[in-house]
Structure 1
Amino acid sequence: MEQQSRRILALDIIKGMSVIGMIIIHTLLIYANVKSQYETAVGSFIVFLGRGTSIFMICMGFTFMTSSHQSLKSSIKRGGLLLLAAFFMNFMKFMIPVIFGFAPDNFIQKYGWHAPIEQQYVYLVQLGDILQLAGMSLLVIGFIRKYVKNKYGILAIGLFVALVSREVNGINTDVPVINYVLDLIFNNDYPAYVYFSVFPWMSFIIIGMFFGKWFQELNYDSKQLFKKMLYVGLLFVAVGAPLVFLYGDYNYNGFYHMGPGGVIYFAGWTLIFLWAIFNISSRIKENNFMKILKYCSRNLTSMYMIQWILISWGKGIFGYRQHGIPFVLLLIVLYIILTFLVQNLLDILRKKEPLFFFRRISTDETVLK
C-alpha cells in the first residue's frame, strides 16, 4: 500500500486548524487585558479553545506511528532537533526584544522576580512549551515504537505515564542543569516555568501511537479506526468524568499539570472530537480552505515557531495585555497574514512549494525578471 493512502484527511485538517487556532489563542493571551480574556464571550471562548492541546498531542502520536521514518535513530535525531528548535524559538521570543530594547516593562513584572532583568530573560529562554515536550517525548517514544509490538502494551504505557504523573511530580536534585531536565520531565518548580511537562502530557502522544498501531492492524481502514476511536472515547469520558469532578484535586489540579483522571477525561473528548471531524471531512469535497489547512499541517512546526516569535516581538509595538476584544481581533487577522507570509517566504527561499495562491507569483517569469 502506498504511503499516501495511509494519510487521513481529518488529521491534516485538525493539525491545520491547530495552526490557525494557536495564532488566535496566543494573540489573545498576549494582547488582551484580563477582563477581555475572562469576562467576555469571545475571550472566554478563545481561552476554552486553548484547552485543545491534547488533540495535537494525539495526532502527533498517531502520525509518528504511521510515519515512513520508523528507525530509532530517526526518532532520536528528530527529538534532538526539536529541542534545539525550542530553545532557538525561546531565544528569538525573549532575548531579541531585550537585546534591541523593545521588551515591554509590564511583561516581566507579571512573574514577580527580583533578579536582574537579563537573568529573568535567561530563565524564559528555558521555558518549557510544546516543542520541548515533543522533543523530549521523541527521545522516549522511539523506543516504544521499536520494542513494544502489541498495541495494548503501548496503551498500557500511556495510561501508566498518566497514572504516576502526580506521584513523580517534584523529583529534583541539587544540580541546576540536571534539575532543569527533571523539570521538563516531572515539573518540579524550577524557576523557568514548564507548561507541558513530559509527565503527564506524553500520555496523549502514546495514546495516539496506540491508535496508529491499530490503524496498521486494520489495514489502514480509516472508517473502522474512527468508529473504534468513538467507542474508546466514550469509555474514557465515562471513566474520567467522575475522577475529575469528584476527586479533582488529585486528578485534575489545573489544565497544565493534570492527574490521571484529567488525562483520561480529556483524551476521551479528544477521541470523540476526532471521530466527529472525520465524519464531517469525509462528506466535504476538497476546496481551497482545505488546501490551506493541509499546507499548515505540513508546516506545523515552523509555523508554530513563526507565529510565536512574531507575536512576542509585537509586544514592543502594541503593548502587553492592554487591549479589548475589537483591537485583539484585528491583531489576530494581522498575525495570521504575517505568519503565512513569512512561511511562504521561507518556502520560496528553500525552493519548497509555497501555498497555492503564492505559487503563481513565485514562479511567474515576468515577476521574477
Structure 2
Amino acid sequence: MEQQSKRIPALDLIKGMSVIGMIIIHTLLTFADVKSQSETVIGSFIVFLGRGTSIFLICMGITFMTSRHQSLSSSLKRGGLLLAAALFMNFLKFIFPVIFGFAPDNFIQRYGWHGPIEQQYLYLMLLGDILQLAGMSLLFIGFIRKYVTNKYGILAIGLSIALVSREVSGINLNYPVINYVLDLLFSNDFPAYVYFPVFPWMSFIIIGMFFGKWYQELDYNRPQLFKSMLYIGILFTLSGAPLVFIYGDYNYNGFYHMGPGGVLYFAGWTLIFLWIIYKISVNIRENKFVRLLKYCSKNLTSMYMTQWILISWGKGIFGFRENGITTVLALIVMYIALTFSVQILLDLLKKKSQKSKPVEALN
C-alpha cells in the first residue's frame, strides 16, 4: 500500500499519451511528404507535438527517484540492456529491410552518401535516438541517485550539464569505438548521427530527479509537488525565453542540439504542462481510456521499439516521405492498431512462457 501511494497517476497518463503520440509523430515524419508536414494544419500540429521529448524525460527522472529498484547495479544493468535493445532495434529498423530487399532507394539517397555501402549500413546501425539517450543516462544517473543526497545538488548537476553542452559538442578523438561513445555523449556526427546526445538532454532527466527527490522530502505530497513545479516552471521559462529569442544561435541551435537557454525554456514549459495535466487528472475517474494509457505506460519501451520497427518496414510498402496527409492519417490509425496488436501478442507469449516454467521444472 505504501508503494502505491508513491505513484503519481498523472505521470502514468502522460507516459501513456506519449506512446500514442510517438506513433502519430513517427508515422507522419516517415511517410508524409514535405508539403503535408509543413503546409497543412494537421501536419504542422503533429510536428509541433514532436517537440515534447522533454516531457517524457522529466517524467523518467521523477519515477527513477521513486522506483522500487534503487540500487546502483540495477541502474547500470538497465542502462546496458537499453543500449543493447537500441542496437537490436536499429538492426531490425534499417538492416533487416536491406537484407530482404524492401528498403526504399530514396531513403538511402536522402543522406547523400558516396562512401562504401558497408559504411552507410554502419551509420544506420549506430543512429542514436531516445533509447540510446536513456541507456547512456542510466549509466550516470545511478551514481547521482546514490551519492548526491541534496536535491539542490542534483539540480545543480542537471543545470551544469546544460550550461556546458554547447562547449563540449563535437568532441572527437578519431578512434571508432571511443568516437561512437563520444557521439552518444556530445554528438560529433561521426560515425553516427545522434538525435538526443547526453549533453544536453540528460539535463531534463536530472531536473526530473530533483523533483523526485523533493517529492520524497514532501512525504509524497502530490499537490505540493506540482505547485512547486508550476512556480519553478514559470521561473525557468522566463529565464530561458530571452536567451532563446535574443541569443538563439548559441542557446537554441535547433531542437536536437540546444544550448543552456533552450534547456531552461523547454524545461519550464514542460513543468507548467505537467502541472496542467495533474490538475486535469485529479478529476478524471478510472475508465477504459485511462486503463489504456496505463497499459501503454507499463509497456513503454517495448511499444516504442515495436512501432519504430513496424513503421520502418512500412517504408518498403508505402514509400519514404511520398504521401499526402489523408493517406498518412489512415496509416496512423493502422500503425496504432498494429502496435497494440503486436504488444498484446507479446503479452500472451510472455504469459504462456511463465505458465510453462513450473511444468518444465517438474519434468
Counterpart for residue 355 of structure 2: none
Report percent identity of matched pairs.
Answer: 79
Counterpart for residue 21 of structure 1: 21
More off after superposition, 159-168 vs 185-194 = 185-194
Counterpart for residue 53 of structure 2: 53
C-alpha displacement of 1:150:
0.3
Counterpart for residue 264 of structure 2: 264
C-alpha displacement of 1:117:
3.0
C-alpha displacement of 1:123:
1.1
Amino acid at match of 1:143: F
Residue segments in structure 2 that go unaligned for 5+ positions in a row: 353-363
Counterpart for residue 184 of structure 1: 184
Give the secondary structure class of the aligned counterpart of 1:128. coil
CA contact (8 A) 2:241 2:261 kept: yes
Counterpart for residue 148 of structure 2: 148
**Cα deviation code 1:207-255 (max 9, x no counterpart):** 0000000000000010110000000000000100000000000000000
Counterpart for residue 285 of structure 2: 285
C-alpha displacement of 1:315:
0.5
Counterpart for residue 120 of structure 1: 120
C-alpha displacement of 1:174:
2.2
TM-score relative to the length of structure 2: 0.96
**Cα deviation code 1:143-163 (max 9, x no counterpart):** 000000000000000000000
Q: In 1, distance between residues paired with 2:115 and 2:343?
A: 36
Counterpart for residue 359 of structure 2: none
Give the secondary structure class of the aligned counterpart of 1:111. coil
Q: In 2, distance between residues paired with 1:34 and 1:105?
A: 18
Amino acid at match of 2:151: K
C-alpha displacement of 1:115:
2.0
Q: In 1, distance between residues paired with 2:193 and 2:149?
A: 36
Amino acid at match of 1:215: Y
Counterpart for residue 361 of structure 2: none
C-alpha displacement of 1:192:
1.5
Amino acid at match of 2:203: S
C-alpha displacement of 1:284:
1.2
Amino acid at match of 1:246: I
Determine whether 1:305 maps to 2:311: no
Determine whether 1:93 maps to 2:93: yes
Amino acid at match of 1:58: I
Q: In 2, distance between residues paired with 1:3 and 1:99?
A: 47
C-alpha displacement of 1:112:
0.4
Residue segments in structure 1 that go unaligned for 5+ positions in a row: 353-369
Structure 1: which 4+ aligned runs deviate by more than 4 Å?
A: none
Amino acid at match of 2:14: I
**Cα deviation code 1:73-132 (max 9, x no counterpart):** 000000000000000000000010000000000001110001233431221110010000
CA contact (8 A) 2:179 2:191 kept: no
TM-score relative to the length of structure 1: 0.94
Give the secondary structure class of the aligned counterpart of 2:351. coil
Give the secondary structure class of the aligned counterpart of 2:254. coil
Matches within 5 A, 1:191-206: 191-206=191-206
CA contact (8 A) 2:183 2:197 kept: yes
Determine whether 1:109 maps to 2:86: no
**Cα deviation code 1:271-308 (max 9, x no counterpart):** 00000000001011111000000000000000000000
Q: In 2, distance between residues paired with 1:90 and 1:118?
A: 15
Q: What's the C-alpha RMSD, in Å, of the aligned pairs?
A: 1.1
CA contact (8 A) 2:176 2:191 kept: no
